[in-house]
């Protein structure tokens, strides 16, 4: 297998109510890939299948030629780090929280932090900029800071694959861009493979090299942002009229929404919309 992360026909889900329908895709090492799709399309189910929280009913996931399903939890945690959608909230200091990223590396009777762990936590707190708040409790941080702390913790795991579930969902545009720029930089400078769920199609287009579009529990389209984010595919998947153009600076596709009034107006003037 030449690709780095190989998702092969996986099925997982919640009982009989909702299951993925044999999703397959692969990602090369050092890619920054995004999972997009409407609410209820199976993005989070797919994510939890890859992260290992939902057991696979069939199919397999190989990361760097290792079958993730066959690894012990701590071995998996050394290879895959996960940042969940809802920021962690606990009465522990930022530095303790970041240090927890080293848990998978501890031996059974090793109760205290080795020097190396503290140095790594320090390094990644600085890299994410959260070191300024190291003594604060996690619960006292703002949404953006929590996200940075969670990233620092994930990096301290020194993973081969970083999974992010909507890292920008609760943030304003300043912090959205700040967090995504950081992820982009980590991806580029550390050659870290990143797979993230991302709701915002414009941000997905701007930052991701590769997109996986989900619909109704199945993979709909995969490819580069230019391939995936054209208006025909978006309208099929989201059942919404959109206009796409390229961002004049980055050249990446950008998606515009149109209100009902405007659409009706156009229909009244020109008849049914033809592309």
Residue 3 C-beta: closest distance to another protein, Å? 23
The owner of tokens 């942002």 is 225
Please tell me whether residue 119 adopts helix, strand or coil conformation: helix
- Exactly one of 17, 65, 111, 269 binds another protein (CB under 8 A); which one? 111
Which one, of 56, 63, 71, lies nearest residue 31 by Cα? 63
User: CB–CB of 221/227 below 8 Å?
Assistant: yes
User: CB–CB of 47/197 below 8 Å?
Assistant: yes
Query: Any contact of residue 175 with another protein (CB under 8 A)?
Result: no
Query: Any contact of residue 242 with another protein (CB under 8 A)?
Result: no
Query: Any contact of residue 139 with another protein (CB under 8 A)?
Result: yes
Query: Any contact of residue 68 with another protein (CB under 8 A)?
Result: no
CA 235-241-247 angle, to 5 degrees, is 85
Q: From the CB of residue 135, how many other CB atoms can be counted at a distance below 10 Å? A: 8
Residue 272 C-beta: closest distance to another protein, Å? 48
Query: Any contact of residue 34 with another protein (CB under 8 A)?
Result: no
Cβ-based nearer residue to another protein, 197 or 228: 197
- Exactly one of 115, 269, 274, 275 binds another protein (CB under 8 A); which one? 115
Residue 158 C-beta: closest distance to another protein, Å? 12
Cβ-based nearer residue to another protein, 138 or 208: 138
Total residue length of the chain: 275
Query: Any contact of residue 95 with another protein (CB under 8 A)?
Result: yes
User: CB–CB of 56/12 below 8 Å?
Assistant: yes
Query: Any contact of residue 92 with another protein (CB under 8 A)?
Result: yes
Report residue 112: phi and psi, to 5°. -115, 155
Query: Any contact of residue 96 with another protein (CB under 8 A)?
Result: yes
Piece of 111-119, 203-211, 241-249, 266-274 that binds another protein (CB under 8 A): 111-119
Residue 230 C-beta: closest distance to another protein, Å? 35
- Exactly one of 9, 58, 67, 89 binds another protein (CB under 8 A); which one? 89
Cβ-based nearer residue to another protein, 18 or 53: 53
**CA-CA distance, 99 to 102, in Å (whole number)?**
6
Chain centroid to Cα 165, Å, comes to: 4
Query: Any contact of residue 84 with another protein (CB under 8 A)?
Result: yes
User: CB–CB of 58/9 below 8 Å?
Assistant: yes
User: CB–CB of 6/189 below 8 Å?
Assistant: no
Query: Any contact of residue 265 with another protein (CB under 8 A)?
Result: no
- Exactly one of 56, 121, 127, 228 binds another protein (CB under 8 A); which one? 121
Please tell me whether residue 88 adopts helix, strand or coil conformation: coil
Bridging pattern class, strands 5-11 and 23-27: antiparallel
The HSE-up count of residue 225 (CA atoms within 13 Å, CB side) is 24
- Exactly one of 17, 65, 91, 189 binds another protein (CB under 8 A); which one? 91
Contacts with another protein by CB under 8 A lie at: 15, 51-53, 72-78, 80-82, 84, 88-92, 95-97, 100-101, 103-104, 106, 108-109, 111-113, 115, 118-119, 121-123, 126, 137, 139-140, 157
């Amino acid at each position: 297998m030449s690709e780095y992360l190989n998702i092969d026909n996986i099925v997982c889900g919640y009982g009989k109510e909702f299951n993925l329908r044999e999703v397959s895709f692969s990602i090369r090492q050092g890619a920054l890939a995004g999972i997009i799709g409407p609410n209820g399309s199976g993005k989070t189910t797919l994510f939890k299948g890859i992260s290992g929280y939902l057991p696979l009913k069939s199919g397999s996931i190989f990361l760097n030629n290792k079958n993730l399903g066959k690894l012990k939890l701590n071995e998996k945690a050394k290879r895959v780090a996960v940042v969940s959608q809802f920021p962690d909230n606990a009465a522990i200091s930022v530095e303790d929280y970041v240090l927890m990223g080293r848990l998978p590396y501890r031996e059974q009777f090793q109760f205290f932090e080795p020097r190396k762990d503290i140095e790594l936590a320090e390094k990644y707190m600085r890299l994410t900029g959260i070191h300024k708040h190291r003594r604060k409790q996690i619960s006292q941080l703002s949404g953006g800071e929590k996200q940075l702390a969670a990233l620092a913790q994930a990096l301290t795991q020194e993973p081969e694959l970083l999974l992010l579930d909507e890292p920008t969902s609760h943030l304003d545009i300043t912090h959205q861009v700040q967090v995504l720029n950081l992820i982009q930089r980590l991806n580029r400078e550390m050659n870290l493979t990143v797979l993230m769920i991302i709701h915002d199609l414009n941000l997905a287009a701007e930052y991701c090299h590769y997109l996986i579009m989900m619909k109704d529990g199945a993979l709909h389209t995969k490819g580069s942002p230019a391939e995936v984010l054209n208006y025909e595919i978006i309208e099929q998947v989201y059942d919404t009229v959109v206009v796409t153009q390229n961002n004049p600076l980055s050249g990446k596709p950008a998606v515009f929404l149109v209100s009902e009034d405007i659409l009706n107006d156009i229909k009244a003037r020109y008849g049914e919309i033809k592309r």
